[in-house]
Amino acid sequence: MSARLYEAVFAPESVALVGASDVPGKATARPLEYLRRHGWAGTVYPVNPARETVLGERAWASVKDLPSVPEHALILTPADAAVEAVRECAEVGVAVATVVADGFIAGSPAGEERRRALLEIVGDTSLRLLGPSSLGVANVRQHMALTGNAAFAEDRLPAGDIFVASQSGSALGALLSRGAEMGLGFAGMVSTGNELDITLGEICLAAVDDPAVASFALFLENLAGADDLAAFARAAAERGKPIVAYKLGRSDDGARLSVSHTGALAGDDAVAEAFLRAHGIARVTTFDALLEAQLLARRVPIRSAGPAPRVAVVSTTGGGGAMAVDCLAAAGVRVGAPDGPTIERLAAIGVAAGHGALIDLTLAGTKYETIKAALDIVLAAPEFDAVVAVPGSSARFTPEVSVAPIVECAGSSTPLAVFVVPSAPEALRLLRHNAVPAFRTPEACADTLAAVFARGLVRPAVPLPAVPLGETTTLDEDASYDVLDRVGLAGAARAVVEVDRLPDELPVPGPAVVKVLSAALPHKSDAGGVVLGVADGEQLQAAAKQVRAGVAAARPDVEVDRLLVQRMVRGVAEVLIGFRRDPDVGPVVVLAAGGVLAEIYRDRSVRLAPVTRAEAAEMIGEVRGLAVAAGFRGRPLGDLDALADAVVNMSMLALAQDPVVVEAEANPVLVLADGEGVVAVDAVVTVGGLV
Amino acid sequence: MSARLYEAVFAPESVALVGASDVPGKATARPLEYLRRHGWAGTVYPVNPARETVLGERAWASVKDLPSVPEHALILTPADAAVEAVRECAEVGVAVATVVADGFIAGSPAGEERRRALLEIVGDTSLRLLGPSSLGVANVRQHMALTGNAAFAEDRLPAGDIFVASQSGSALGALLSRGAEMGLGFAGMVSTGNELDITLGEICLAAVDDPAVASFALFLENLAGADDLAAFARAAAERGKPIVAYKLGRSDDGARLSVSHTGALAGDDAVAEAFLRAHGIARVTTFDALLEAQLLARRVPIRSAGPAPRVAVVSTTGGGGAMAVDCLAAAGVRVGAPDGPTIERLAAIGVAAGHGALIDLTLAGTKYETIKAALDIVLAAPEFDAVVAVPGSSARFTPEVSVAPIVECAGSSTPLAVFVVPSAPEALRLLRHNAVPAFRTPEACADTLAAVFARGLVRPAVPLPAVPLGETTTLDEDASYDVLDRVGLAGAARAVVEVDRLPDELPVPGPAVVKVLSAALPHKSDAGGVVLGVADGEQLQAAAKQVRAGVAAARPDVEVDRLLVQRMVRGVAEVLIGFRRDPDVGPVVVLAAGGVLAEIYRDRSVRLAPVTRAEAAEMIGEVRGLAVAAGFRGRPLGDLDALADAVVNMSMLALAQDPVVVEAEANPVLVLADGEGVVAVDAVVTVGGLV
């Protein structure tokens, strides 16, 4: 999106309101009311073929009749009329049209027809389209609310430096009023709706260079525009403007809803999580945190992998401090007691610390001097990556005692956040006014810290091979190993034999497993196609017979002509390593604990592919079941270094050209004893195009 | 606690303020200030030996000098003086003394000494003690704030029908201000501190008959007074007064903090959860919900086990409704689409429902009539156990459109809750004023619904055998099976043989496992004391030799004279069934998935023992790994009926008299194929007293 187009969207000199109503209070009358009430300085053209005037202002019959071409047209008419209005806008050269109407969802014939019509106009002309099903845009600093959303009926729109982009319209209104209540304000707001043309990522990318914008709050329903979002995230990271996102679809029910809303398919939540984390986006799960996290996200640098960050909690209220520690720890944040030198410095000001995670100032007394001195000591302590201050009732009645010292620490190099235990809206606003991240609930505080620490360094764009169109081909097990071999992921020693010409000796060191070899039978065991513990040539004969009989019974359609004979191996742990291309976010790699229990517990780690070795090591740390290969209860160590290599190698399939791999799964992969590597003992690879 | 004592605590006619300060604003001056400011009508005696007057009122030198005996004395002095003050109160016949000072923690010698002194006074006299480390009490309806907590400096204390009891003092203040902001009010508030004498449960039990109290909010740090809490819960359930609790200790860090705070050992959080659920107490995990859940807890009846309750979400804002659905589902609440007849009735008023979990009124328009009609239909639908209404920005600007119809449904027989998407404090207060449960965040809304649905019917008091004092004895495996046999939990067929007189034949059907039999060796395998797959008498000889050699090497101190020979059995799943007596809540039974992975995933279910068969079935449903025995991916069914019996039987150890079992673990217990039962194949039982 060019700077000129961004101006047309957020800072036009003139706008048309197509379908503006003359009935005060109607949703279609509100945009004109809002533009006037909030004092926007630009030119407004109400368009309404049925009226000479609208709310006392001159109205035009059509966009074609306007005295000048508006840069931005807000189309308020129902769906059918909206298509016509967009066409007229394109004809006269309007830069951007925002369509409010619903009714363009793929699925319904009429919706499909309208959708195609809009796409045609956008394809054939220079007009860009926001929506449909967009609630509009707002440039809060310029007093422009180009929307009919009831939420903008505020007396005064809260101006500030946060840019909000939402696929949902109604979330926009909720964030507006909640931000105002919090004492946080907005530079711009946009609802992108169905994203037929302009995506959320594209518009945010254009906003990155807006000097009025310091950080971003995204309300996401799906990741259909993941490429644009990634480009935006890279640009935002370069300019040091953090992004916080709330994304629907944590539950399966929520995911299904996102579908019905936008027509886009909501994907696996773990994939979404991997995408956001890999792009330095802090994903929060409490709604308050979407705004409350903004200030902290600006203070905490995105970190590369390393030891878990350590947080200090400093409290003047025992119970409140304990609540903060409990919530932080439950959210996976490491709350740590101070180290020796810090304990000594605290002792010198009368604060006894080090008995537990909480630095409790209660006994030393809620005095300005104590709080300030304790915060100075803890903020200077090298062992902490962030400090959470927890004032009690004094924050409500005597902020000069417990809030003032926190405000004075606002410029500390270690990030400082505050959970205010009582209801103290003034204290919260005072803190935020001074750029101190402040939280109304311990849950949003913990959620935010966990989310900003979980952000990964933003990945660079990776050139991916084009996936051939049309059919895909699933390879047999032997050919699948070949593909994996080429990226360095080894299978156990194997040989292919023909059933009619079996060798006299086992072709691999025994004992071996004998499996039917056929791309048509990925679930070999279920079809009687596997025999274990084959020790020699004689047993191989018997095994071949058994496989033939078993498959003939279970799957008479499958010809058994070749067998895979593979050395049986014992590992200290089993894992699954998978690769696939997500339709939204592209290639991903999955590491999961092996076995049926791990499947039940959904114990796995997902990352965008390819991954670095450090990322692979992080993934291993996230799969809880892999504790069995890390010395849990005195068990033998597994070769986790080799496992990390295997994960990296599998992820490299993202880049492989010949063939282009669409999907791959090595399951199980056996993790052998430390130093002995890992081997795949089953594999299925699907490649693009026919082979 | 007698009614008279409850009156002395919450509705005394006269109080003494021992250690009342003459310096305005000091914590020790505040109680007198508060009693005057809020207009309490009773008699106040400031006690201060150093002054003739305190804040302009006459002061007395000692409790002994007062013109009449006060019913309640608030002791504001430091710890040492507090002991003396309590002694004087006891001497003159004060009914209850509340000690504010810290410094009575077991562990420090001085603290221990003071603690003992207080316990002696309480033991020797009729005086009852609140605290120490109590922040005091408040009778909000009578304008009595008998506390020095800064939070009570409000202009007006919010009177209402909620009773708050907190082990933490500071939580009291936070709840006071947050309640006021929410439009919720309080009948009474009490901080119980270290609970040296009066426990939280005892004081709440006394409050149950207070007609001013409709429900309870508890802030818990530990369950040291579990028996009192249980008695209170039973009484509250009888009178239909619900209890909501926020308990610290969800994380290990939080649990450790509770220790340092009160000196009481905080236990396993799963045990606490089991205790609360078994006593009909809704445990919330978001702080807002402790108060926000009060109204809903009054509307939703405590249910016996049965199908998961089904919740409808009705929204006038797509994004907000989707957020509610997502949060509810993520909290484990079943959000359901309407059934056919309801879909038809909704269609008749222009609402298209049934495509997903959300009943979205957006397209039908945010009109009073539509909202009212839709709510009437959904509230009358038999398929729903509760309905969540989700109004959007209209709740802020036009509550007569979207909030009024909800208020009109306040009396519906199906419980109705509201998540208000924008910032709309007036709408929230209006709803709550009309007894409609209203929530400021989707997370607190979901947390509350999950918590009130999770409540179990309150268990009756169960008479338990006295555990013999002194030593406990761990039984060997054979004797352990004997104990389990007596409650009907069977082990696999077994025989004990002497190493020096081995039988010629296997004494049980083979193949068998041979294990060293010694109470000194609970971890037999680690000590080389187990041989598997023993098929006949000859192999038994070899196995005996092997066990003898193995144990001699690993544990030369253990004499190997007896072996347990046990039939080897194959099950479709492995579980652990455990029993122990928790020092706070008493006997509990644990069902966990077997194997190392289940241990890593902490996949288990805990209940107070004994359990009913219905509870045992619920436990089986909660252990996710047991899906492998319930037909997961076409696996054979396990005998889950027999497993439920086994869990019930193990839990019956709670009542067994001879011997009294302190702890028992059968691990693994094999779940055999459906219809074939379950058998324990290892067991350790510890009994009270020497055997």
B168 interface with A at CB cutoff 8 Å = yes
Q: What percent of chain A has pLDDT over 90?
A: 82
Q: State how far the Cα of A190 lies from the Cα of A5, in Å rounded to an integer.
A: 14
Q: Report the pLDDT value the prediction gives residue A468, as an integer from 0 to 100.
A: 83
In chain B, the residue whose alpha carbon lies closest to the alpha carbon of A423 is B178
Q: Is residue A266's pLDDT more than 50?
A: no
User: 3-state SS string over A172-219?
Assistant: HHHHHHHHHHHCCCEEEEEECCCCCCCCHHHHHHHHCCCCCCCEEEEE
The whole-number pLDDT of residue A255 equals 61
| pLDDT number for residue B257 | 55
Q: CB contact, 8 Å: A468 with chain B? A: no
CA–CA distance from A60 to each of A45, A49, B440 (Å)? 7, 7, 44
pTM (two decimals): 0.94
**What's the CA gap between B636 and B642, in Å, rounded?**
15
In DSSP terms, A588 is beta-bridged to: A580, A608
Report the gap between the CA of A448 and the closest CA in chain B (Å): 14
Work out the mean pLDDT of chain A and round it to a whole number: 93
Closest CA to B144 of B294, B11, B287: B11
Query: Are B174 and A261 in contact (CB < 8 Å)?
Result: no
Residue A508 in tokens: 């691999």
Q: How far is CA A475 from the centre of its chain?
A: 32
Please judge whether B603 and A603 are an interchain contact, meaning their C-beta atoms are less than 8 angstroms apart. no
Amino acid, single-letter form, for residue B522: P
Q: How many CB atoms lie within 10 A of CB B298?
A: 18
Which residue in chain A is spatially nearest to B598 when comparing CA positions?
A597
Of the partner residues A288, A392, A627, the one whose CB lies closest to the CB of residue B600? A627
Is the pLDDT reported for residue A487 higher than 70? yes
d(CA A650, CA A662): 12
Structure tokens given for A34: 């809002």
- CB-based burial of residue B169 (10 Å sphere; 0-12 exposed, 13-18 middle, 19+ buried)? buried
Q: Extract the tokens encoding B526.
A: 């680690």
Nearest Cα to A451, choosing from A459, A439, A434, A435? A439
Q: How far is A303 from chain B (nearest CA, A)?
A: 25
Interface contact A251, partner B, CB < 8 A: yes
Which of A147, A284, A315, A326 is the mutation pick for testing B, counting most B CBs within 10 A? Answer: A326
Nearest Cα residue to B178 out of A120, A223, A584, A392: A392
Is residue A202 over pLDDT 50?
yes
Give phi and psi for A225, each to the nearest 5.
-100, 45
- The span from the CA of B288 to the CA of A444, in Å, is 11
Q: How many Å apart are CA B152 and CA B172, to the nearest integer?
A: 10
Tell me, rounded to whole angstroms, the distance of Cα B201 from its chain centroid.
13
Inter-chain CB proximity B329 and A288 less than 8 Å: no
Residue with tokens 């033939």: A548
Model pLDDT for residues A295-331, shown as the tens digit of each residue: 999 999 987 767 889 999 999 988 899 999 999 999 9
Q: Cis omega before residue B46 (within 30°)?
A: no
- Give the end-to-end CA distance of chain A in Å, rounded to a whole number: 40
When CB atoms are compared, the residue of A171, A286, A320 closest to B443 is A286
β-pairing verdict for A512-516 and A562-567: antiparallel
Interface test with B, best of A152, A290, A597 (most B CBs within 10 A): A597
Residue A393 is nearest to which of B150, B260, B421, comparing CB atoms? Answer: B150
CB–CB contact B319 A287 (8 Å) = no
Chain A residues close to B595, C-beta within 8 Å = 597
- Non-local CB neighbours of A211 within 8 Å, separated by 6+ positions: none
| CB within 8 Å: A597 and B595 | yes
Which of B597, B599, B603 would you mutate first to test chain A, the one with the most A CBs within 10 A?
Answer: B597
Beta bridge partners of A72: A15, A96
Q: How far apart are CA A19 and CA A38, in angstroms?
A: 21
Judged by CB atoms closer than 8 Å, whether chains meet at A422 and B177 is answered as yes
Of A180, A257, A423, the CB nearest to B358: A257
The answer to whether the Cβ–Cβ distance between B398 and A442 falls below 8 Å is no
d(CA B292, CA B290): 6
By the 10 Å C-beta count (0-12 exposed, 13-18 middle, 19+ buried), A596 is classed as middle
Pairing of strands B57-58, B72-75: unpaired
Task: Give the residues across from A26 on adjacent strands.
Answer: none
Q: What does the pLDDT read at residue B262?
A: 39
- SS3 category, B448: helix
> Which residue of B173, B178, B421 is in closest CB contact with A174?
B421
Name the DSSP class of B673: B
The Cα angle at residue A664 between residues A662 and A670, in degrees rounded to 5: 170
A288-312 burial code (b ≥16 CB/10 A, e <16): bbbbbbbbbbbbbebeeeeeebbbb
> Which of the residues B100, B246, B257 would you substitute to probe the A interface, choosing the one with the greatest number of A C-beta atoms within 10 Å?
B257
**A248 in reach of chain B (CB within 8 A):** yes
**Residue B84, beta-bridge partner list:** none
Yes or no: say if A360 and A350 are a contact pair by the CB < 8 Å rule. Answer: no
Is A358 at the interface with chain B, CB within 8 A?
Answer: yes
Query: Is A249 part of the contact surface with chain B (CB cutoff 8 Å)?
Result: yes
Contacts of B396 in chain A (CB under 8 A): 150-151, 177
| Nearest CB to A329 within list B253, B394, B597 | B253
Which helix H or strand E contains A274, and what residues bound it?
Answer: helix A269-278
Interface pTM (ipTM) of the complex? Answer: 0.94
Of A173, A322, A363, the CB nearest to B422: A173
Residue A305: DSSP 8-state:
S
Instruction: Look at residue A527 and tell me whether its pLDDT is greater than 90.
Output: no
Q: How many CB atoms lie within 10 A of CB A406?
A: 28
Across the range A63-71, mean pLDDT stands at 97
Q: CB-based contact (8 Å) between A318 and chain B?
A: yes
Residues in chain A closer than 8 A to B329 (CB atoms): 250-254
Interface residue of A423, A523, A574 to substitute, partner B, most B CBs within 10 Å: A423
A-facing residues of B in 181-200 (CB < 8 A) are: 181
CA-based nearest residue in chain B for residue A167: B319
Between A200-207 and A3-10, two packed helices, what is the crossing angle to 10 degrees? Answer: 100
Question: Distance of CA A620 to CAs A144, A218, A672, Å?
Answer: 50, 30, 15
Chain A closest-CA separation from residue B173 CA (Å) = 6
Residue A113, pLDDT above cutoff 50: yes
Q: Are strands B43-47 and A661-671 parallel, antiparallel or unpaired?
A: unpaired
How big is the A-B interface in CB pairs under 8 Å? 262
E strands, A460-615, are 472-474, 494-498, 512-516, 530-534, 562-567, 573-582, 586-593, 604-608
Within 13 Å, how many C-alpha atoms sit on residue B484's CB side? 34
DSSP B362: T
> Is the Cβ pair A628, B596 closer than 8 Å?
yes
| Distance (Å) from the alpha carbon of B107 to chain A's nearest alpha carbon | 13
Distance CA A217, CA A202 (A): 15
Determine the Cα–Cα distance for residues B205 and B208; give it in Å rounded to an integer: 5
The CA distance from A505 to A536, in Å, is 6
Tens of pLDDT, residue by residue over A589-627, are: 999 998 887 788 888 999 999 999 999 999 999 999 999
Residue B271 half-sphere exposure toward CB, CA atoms < 13 A:
21
Measured between alpha carbons, how far is A289 from A248 in angstroms, rounded to an integer? 14
Q: Report chain B (691 residues): mean pLDDT per 10 consecutive residues.
A: 93 97 94 96 97 96 97 97 97 98 84 95 97 95 94 93 94 95 97 96 97 98 94 97 95 59 56 95 98 97 82 93 95 94 96 88 85 97 97 90 95 97 96 97 98 93 86 94 95 96 94 94 86 95 94 91 95 94 93 85 92 94 92 90 98 93 95 96 89 53
pLDDT of residue A103: 87
How many CA atoms does the CB half-sphere of A254 hold within 13 Å?
28
The pair of structure tokens assigned to B646 is 């086994």
